[in-house]
Amino acid sequence: MDDSFDLIVIGAGSGGLAAAKRAASYGAKVAILEGDRVGGTCVIRGCVPKKLLVYGSAYGHHLADAASYGWTLEGAETPFRCDTALLLAHVRAEVDRLNQLHIGGLQKSGVQLISGWGRFEDPHHLLVTDRSGGSRRLRGERILIAVGGRPQRPSIPGAELGWVSDDLFELTTFPESVVVVGAGYIACEFAGILRGLGVAVTQLVRGDHLLRGFDREASAVVLEGMVAEGIDVRFGQSPAAIEGEPGNLRLKTDSGAVLACGGVLLATGRRPFLEGLNLEAAGVEHASGRIPVDADQCTNVAHLHAVGDVTDRINLTPVAVDEGRAFADSVYGNRPRQVDYSLVASAVFTQPELASVGLGEEEALERYGSEGVTVHRARFRSMAQALPQRGGKVLLKLVVETGSGRILGAHMVGDHSAEIIQMAAIALGMGATKADFDRTMALHPSVAEEFVTMPN
């Protein structure tokens, strides 16, 4: 068997798959290594299963609201109950389907999938070890590192008793109560999922607000919604230790409080997964636990490249995909291009949902000053909640450069925020101004129309 390739990709996640298939489409001989299932964090233990759980947890609200619209669910239990074991089983079945779909996609594209973990022997050679202990030596003219990231646990006694986000997708059911540790998108999303499925949730936040890096007003509106749903959010508190046994835990905080619960989710960040790669043998620099690359995804070694979360830049699936494709276009397609990171939309699938593109108010003020920024906002109860009279008010917000009228940022908290902001991102990418939005005819009645009817 010929074990030499034009390109070897380490990691079959979003970035690696995109690069491998695009390179193969240009005629390159490509192998991709994966020691786990194909699809990476997003498909296997991230975006996809999480979003399915968000949908599942939201049905309790839909069922509760049905009566206000005249629907009677005969014979239904009150309150409604979710069979979480069945939901989790269905989610895992969908993940398995997608795993097989990605494997088929590699076969169709002519990429050779090699099961196992790759370890550098030198700048051109990898030793691949499979689960049975067998090994295979490969040579790559170029090698792309796309191994992604992994959740990290805090350094506290008993941390091994807690879950990380990966673990939740493998559970067969959820306990009655959970303590969530963290303030980022993973912590806030799972707090909403668990609460929506009937779990009592306490969330510990080390700082004084949620969702660092997002517009502060928008994150405050998310907090309002979370608290209204019964999530007990406690600021200025960190875990000190976890004791007990699975299903019957006690979390001690740094303030001396003791929280009894059925489980602890440690959503305290992720970091690049560099363990086992033996990057030193390849001469690859990896400062601060990540692999630095230039605008062409190149490491300090000319023929070794990296994309996605392992570079720890903007850790989002579409970014990793574009990085992988830009690499392949440039190296194998004679179509040199670089990824534009200047305007990347993002969403947090909390309940309520938050989505954003461009600058938040705080960042805009820092760059342009208070005289250079004008903020327009709309806050109201959506028509979907006019009859149930449940849930908080949505927020739509535009951050505008005062002198030019150019829109610097668009933010929304409420149902379908991600769908709406995705379209707003196109306008911002074209340099849209507040006057451009004002000239746009409103689509009535809709929530999104408020973006084009905000007063000056």
Give the three-class secondary structure for 436: helix
SS3 219: helix
Q: Strands, DSSP E only, in 293-442?
A: 304-306, 346-348, 354-358, 373-380, 394-401, 407-413
Torsion, Cα of 53, 57, 63, 68 (10° steps): -120
How far apart are alpha carbons 281 and 127 in whole angstroms? 12
Q: What is the torsion angle, in degrees rounded to the nearest 10, for the CA atoms of residue 425, residue 220, residue 312 and residue 346?
A: -20
348: which 2 tokens? 């947090």
Which residues neighbour 437 within 8 Å (Cβ) at sequence distance 6 or greater? 398, 407, 427, 451, 452, 454
34 alpha carbon, distance to own chain's centre: 21
Burial class from Cβ neighbours inside 10 Å (0-12, 13-18, 19+) for residue 129 reads middle
Show Cβ contacts of residue 203 under 8 Å, excluding neighbours closer than 6 positions.
179, 180, 181, 182, 183, 187, 188, 191, 226, 231, 232, 233, 234
Beta bridge partners of 261: 249
What gap in Å lies between CA 291 and CA 307, rounded to an integer? 9
Is 90 catalytic? The answer is no
* Largest distance between two CA atoms of the chain: 69
Cβ pair 454, 395 in contact under 8 A = no
- Report the catalytic residues: 444
